[in-house]
Amino acid sequence: MKIAICGKGGCGKSTTTSLLAKELARAGKKVLVIDSDESNYGLHRQLGMELPKDFTAFFGGKQTVLQDMMLSNFAHKFFDGPWSLSDIPEGYCGEKDGVMLMASGKIHEANEGCACAMNNVIQQFIMNLQLSEDEFALMDMEAGIEHFGRGVDNGVDLLLMIVDPSFESLRLSKKIQELGESIGKPVWFVLNKVTEDTRETMLETVADAQKIAAVVPADAKVAAAGLTGTELTGSYPAIEGLARELTKGEVC
């Protein structure tokens, strides 16, 4: 199953991706995490890994990819058929405790240009990726909804929107539900950083209460790891439950 993990900035996309990936791996699943956020550097640390080489470099690097895209009027195909997890070239993917990690690419220098090349490569990759029943790809998206505009979500089976306790996030849940519907993809919500004070309002205001896949409490240990950029360890009941539901096909 290919899952896009999306939501507004800072809602907990990377944290949820890391915790869920580790949980699925503990349950014996093969998991690929795709870092498709060109601006943030936290995900690999949460997974306890080094940042992998930009996947875009495999196709000649950002400038070459951009040229290929422009010369073909954005029709260039970087993949000539389906790819499986074992097709990911060596050096472009890290692995730890059953979790694989690849990254579309990062902005490394000022004035180096936009992220279109990286996004195009990763959009085509997810579209061509074929997984068996026991394999999961979790795609940690950049904040906001531009990825819908770029068509990245067209290649996934399911969207998990992380909703934090904020008006912006709850409002965005309606927009993401609409965008998901418009491309025929199921949208589920993970309420995150939930406290006693925010729980009720979040449950009442999220776009569809029937589609809440998990309610994850605000957790001091998670926050502390986020502050120091250290690996997330341990199990969290809400994430365990989410992994179980995904595995059983109850969230689909």
Ligand X SMILES: Nc1ncnc2c1ncn2[C@@H]1O[C@H](COP(=O)(O)OP(=O)(O)OP(=O)(O)O)[C@@H](O)[C@H]1O
Contact set with ligand X (CB under 6 A): 7, 9-15, 37, 40, 42, 143, 192-193, 216, 218-219, 222-223, 226
Binders of Mg ion: how many residues, by CB under 5 A? 3
Q: 218 is in the binding site of which of ligand X, Mg ion, none (Cβ under 5 to 8 A by kind)?
A: ligand X
114 with 62: CB under 8 angstroms?
A: no
Nearer to Mg ion by Cβ, of 78 and 105: the residue is: 105
Q: 114 is in the binding site of which of ligand X, Mg ion, none (Cβ under 5 to 8 A by kind)?
A: none
Distance CA 91, CA 102 (A): 9
Distance CA 153, CA 24 (A): 21
Can you spell out the DSSP letters for 141-175?
Answer: PPSSSHHHHHTGGGG-SEEEEEE-SSHHHHHHHHH
- Residue 14 lies near Mg ion (rule: CB under 5 A): yes
Q: Which is it for strands 158-163 and 94-96: parallel, antiparallel or unpaired?
A: unpaired
Stretch that binds Mg ion, among 11-19, 20-28, 78-86, 90-98 (CB under 5 A): 11-19
Distance CA 82, CA 2 (A): 14
DSSP 53: P
Find the shortest distance in angstroms from Cβ 4 to ligand X: 13
Q: 54 is in the binding site of which of Mg ion, ligand X, none (Cβ under 5 to 8 A by kind)?
A: none
Q: 119 is in the binding site of which of ligand X, Mg ion, none (Cβ under 5 to 8 A by kind)?
A: none
Nearer to ligand X by Cβ, of 46 and 59: the residue is: 46
- Residue 40 lies near Mg ion (rule: CB under 5 A): yes
Question: Which residues fall within 8 angstroms of residue 236, CB to CB, at 6 or more apart?
Answer: 19, 216, 219, 222
Note the residues at the interface with Mg ion (CB under 5 A). Answer: 13-14, 40
